[in-house]
Every structure is written in C-alpha cells, then in structure tokens.
Amino acid sequence: MNISPKAYRRLVPCLMPLAALYLLWRARKQSDYLKHWGERFAWTDFPDPRPNHPRIWIHAVSVGETNATRPLVQAILKEWPQCDILLTHMTPTGRDTGAKIKALAPERIQQCFLPYDAPYAMEKFLRQTQPKLGIVMETEVWPTLLEEARRKGIPMLLANARLSEKSFNQAMKAEDLMRDAMGKFTAVCAQSPKDAERLVTIGTKEPEITGSLKFDIQAPMAALEKASYWKTIIGRPVVLLASTRAGEEEVLINELRQCVQPDVLYLLVPRHPQRFDEVEAVVKGSGLRYQRRSTLDCPSDLLAETQVLIGDSMGEMFFYCALADVTLMGGSFKPFGCQNVIEPASVGVPVIVGPSTFNFAQVVEEGKRIGGIFQVEDERSALASAHALLDDHQAWQSAHEKALAFSQAFIGATERTMKVIRTLWKN
C-alpha cells in the first residue's frame, strides 16, 4: 500500500499505543525492553552536548549495525579530538553492544534510544541533542527524522548502506514515501554496486561505493588469546553453529543426532538471547549431552562427554569464532538472508552457508569465488561438509588461508567512508 509523506506524518503518532504494546510483548522474553521508555516516546530529555564539543550522531539499530560502527567511531575520535559522538539504537542488545564502544572514550561518547518516528519526538530529539552531522547505518530509514533533519540543516549520511532485492521490493510498496525520504540523505555510502543501483532506483543521490565496514572490524586480542587457551585445554575440533534463527536449531540438532562425531564439539550460538532457554529445550529433548557456556568458569569445566555447548553469552562472538575450526552460518538455512559471514572469515575460519544469503549476497559470492565460503542446500549437507573439512587437514588448511584472504581483500571501507564524512563535517 502506497502512502504519502504527509499521511505518514499524521499516522505515526496514532500508532504510538501499538508501539507500547509491542514493547510489552517483546518484554515477555526480554525484560530489557521495559527500560528507557521515556526515550522511545520522547517523554524524557535526551543527552545534551558538551559545550564547545560539536557532536556527530550515529544511529545503529541492533548488534550487527552497532558492531560495524566501531572502526568508524575510532577513526572519528582520532581525526577530530574535539568531536563527541552520540550513539542511538532501537534494541536493548544494540544498546548493550554500544556500551562496549562507549567504553573506548566514555567522556566523549553518549548513548540513548532513538524515539519512534513521530514529528514531536524527532523534533525534540534533534533539538536537544544538537548533532552537527547524522550518520544512519545500513538500511534504517525514518522519513520524519530525515524531514526534521533537513529542516534543521543537519546533513545526513546513509553509511554502510545495503539494500537487498527483498528489501527493495518491500520498500517499493510505499514508493512515494520512500523516494521522498531517501532523497533527503545528503550523501550515501553503499556496500556494493548492486546496493548502489537499488538505492538510486529508490531515490537516493548517486552513492559512493565504500564496501562494508564489517570487514574493518578487528578481533580483540583478548578474545583471540582466550580462544587459543580454550582450544589447548579442550583438545578437540569445534564446529560453530553461529547466529542460528528460529526453526534452524530443530533441524540442525535433529540432523546432528544422526551424524554426531564423538571427537567433535558442536558450539551452538543462537542469534537472539531471549531464545537461549528455548534452544536449550531443543537440545535437551534430542538426548545429546550438552552444557551452557554460562555455567563454565574455565575450559576445564567442559565435560569430556559434552557434545553440544550452547553459547548463551553476549559479547563473545569473536571468541566463539576463533574457537571454531568450521562455522555453519545461521540465518541461511531458513529464509532470513544469512547472518554475518565476515566475523569467522576474519579469523581464518571457513564458513558454510545454506541457500538464503540475500543480506550478504555479493559478499558470499566473492567468498565462494575465493574459496573461504562454501554454499550447500540444507543442514544435512552443511554438517557433512564440515565433517569432510575436519577429516581432510590439507583441504581445511586451504580453506583457512582462503577465508583469511577473502576477509583481507575487502579492508578499507572505514577510510573510504571517512573521505565522504570529511566533505560533510564543517567544524
């Protein structure tokens, strides 16, 4: 259903009660959705800027987008010592992830939730936070926000932008609204030529092709050292089932029951923390012997008979990736478009994906071409491919080297994005 910008601005305030009900519904499984309601509805004040410290505002919805801001935040802090940063999010997990970035410079970085896209809320947010430049990560487009920023003369950059064919088709259902909103971005940095083509079609200015900031994220040394220590103590290969989504765990665990290898540890990390207990119930019902990461203080607490380790912790994905020998990437075996294949590849771990990869389509194709990513039809084939790699050290070593080469080939998005930001930053 198409909708005009004027109708949208009138409609959103009427939907605020539904937004409140949505938060209550989400809070059933994740109580953090009950926190900071005042920010979501602009009922409270937003963080004031420090005097004489111009502010760049970066909006990143959840975990993946927030992690991608890290190299950009570090570059901004270094280049403009007087500049402060405001990080905004839409999910509690995004905010928790942002807290780790805030720790890089707690006196210069502040956080809050971005309010819902009602005119009164966005006007108050921009008036109180006073950003000199706004950066929106990936595909988060709020029409009223962009209109209010235009009125206040705040340049807006769409950074690390991607627009899958699926998202493009959805956006075109509200073509008038989306064209009006996308045309208000001052500049756009697209991850790939295909993303740029779709973005122009939907109304943006001609984008700069900057690549993905996620390739510039470096694994923390502490995570690598911890993984190395754990691998020594565990003493067996690890297959990582990473960022799995609803419906995938049941199939993976059922297939695993048929082909589990006695000398392999299967590390199952659900994408969403509110599903940890649900996933545990699936593993428990399978009869496979398991433990939860949260119960282990050290690797020696892992029992020799444990077949599945449930990764029920936050902020340890790089540790999990570095601990693994092969990764099966969640979100690709059901129609979710795949999760981040870059993290495991960046630490040299070969990645196996299923048929659904539209969120990382070009990245996956390039990884397949180089040889660090393998695509299969289903979960059974994925587990068989993982076991085959573990059984053939020469093949695994080749895939390991190609995964590293694949990830290294795309480094540089941060500096390319910074070139665009320099043209917008007037302070």
| Residue 295 burial (10 A CB sphere; 0-12, 13-18, 19+) | exposed
Q: Tell me which amino acid residue 361 is.
A: A
Q: Which residues pair with 270 in a beta bridge?
A: 244
**DSSP state for residue 242 in the 8-state scheme:** E
Segment 176-180 long-range contacts (CB within 8 Å, at least 24 positions apart): 176/2, 176/3, 176/4, 176/5, 177/2, 177/3, 177/4, 177/5, 177/8, 177/143, 178/141, 178/143, 178/202, 178/203, 179/203, 180/5, 180/143
65 labelled catalytic: yes
Rounded Cα–Cα distance for residues 42 and 238 (Å): 46
Q: Exactly one of 39, 65, 148, 248 is catalytic; name it.
A: 65
Rounded Cα–Cα distance for residues 56 and 73 (Å): 10
Helix or strand run (H / E) with residue 84: strand 84-89
Q: Is the sign of the CA dihedral 200, 203, 207, 212 positive or negative?
A: negative
Rounded Cα–Cα distance for residues 164 and 157 (Å): 19
Whole-Å CA distances, 95 to 110, 244, 390, 396, 421: 11, 21, 37, 37, 24
- The catalytic residues are 65
